[in-house]
Structure 1
């Protein structure tokens, strides 16, 4: 049961994930959660750091797609300035949103990775879909009200994960030669 929440990698911040390393892994599409993963939940404009990372992904030939449980209106408002494609109402931890994005971009499970800040939605959805995942620390220490419930339960899950998998730690980037294994 605990393995459902085990991320493939853990990285300090989304923008620390190296497009070069993703390319080496054969990744063609990065799926990312929206709030507190790609942008601060209360700042739909993003940062210069985000724009730099997006440009590096594009230069590496890697598509970036937002997969969010939020409504279409909320996601569209948040990503329109960033000109990013998205799947709204993804129903994570179910696989609907991930499967839709994979179908739209015609990629296999080995060509996609899910990046998110929540074990109970993003990482679980990736594992349910059979794809690699990257858990990142939330951009902000605060969350929207509906995420605070997940964070409460995540503390217990993370404690159990670290106990079972003592090497789990946030790193500066992914290590393509080392994955967390179940």
Structure 2
């Protein structure tokens, strides 16, 4: 059961993802979380560094969609200036939003990666849909809502079990 929480890849930030290697693996689409994945949870707009990264992503031919459990106001204000399609109030890890994102990308699941900062939502939901999952460290963990804090507690339990099984290294950042 806890193995479903294991991401295919772990990096500190989105900027540590080798996009060329991802493309070589056959990935053509990226489903990304918003809060604490692309920017801190209280950052309203994309940073210049993120805009540059998104330009590189698009130049490499990737399609991108934001899938967030946050509300329409938050997600639309962030995504629309970047011309990125989005799904708000996603209820991750439920399948519906991931299916919707795959439809927006118009790609098969095996050509789609999901990037997020939570094992309980992004990784679990992505794995259940057959997506390539990439876990990033949360950008500003002190700014998280009550559900995310609850999920972080569950992640600690899961990490303990995964470490006991030898599936998660002790020296890891979490």
What's the TM-score, normalizing by structure 2? Answer: 0.90
For structure 2, list consecutive stretches of 5 or more residues without a partner in the other structure.
Answer: none
Aligned counterparts of 1:60 and 1:95: Cα–Cα separation in 2:
27
- Counterpart contact for 1:11–1:134, Cα < 8 Å: yes
Provide the alpha-carbon RMSD of the alignment.
1.8
Counterparts of 2:41 and 2:31, CA distance in 1: 17
> Structure 2 matches for 1:3-152, cutoff 5 A?
3-146=3-146, 147-152=148-153
Asked if the contact 2:29/2:113 (under 8 Å) is kept, the reply is yes
* TM-score normalised by the chain length of structure 1: 0.86
- Go from structure 1 to structure 2 and tell me whether the alpha carbon gap of 1:50 and 1:93 turns closer, same or farther (over 3 Å shift): same
More helix by share: 2
> In 2, Cα distance between the equivalents of 1:23 and 1:169?
29
Residue in structure 1 matched with residue 164 of structure 2 by the alignment:
163
Instruction: Between the two structures, name the one with larger relative contact order (CA 8 Å, sep ≥ 6).
Output: 1
Give the secondary-structure state (helix, strand or coil) at the position aligned to 1:142. Answer: helix
Runs of at least 5 residues in structure 1 that lack an aligned partner in the other structure: 172-182
Aligned pair count reads 171
Task: Tell me how far 1:163 sits from its aligned partner.
Answer: 2.6
1:77-107 per-residue CA deviation (whole Å, 9 max, x = no partner) reads: 2223333211112221111111111112221
Q: 1:40 to 1:161 in 2, by over 3 A?
A: same
SS of 1:22's equivalent in the other structure is: helix
Q: How many Å separate the matches in 2 of 1:118 and 1:31?
A: 14
Give per-residue Cα distances to partners, 1:20-49, cap 9 Å, x unaligned: 111111111110111000111010222222
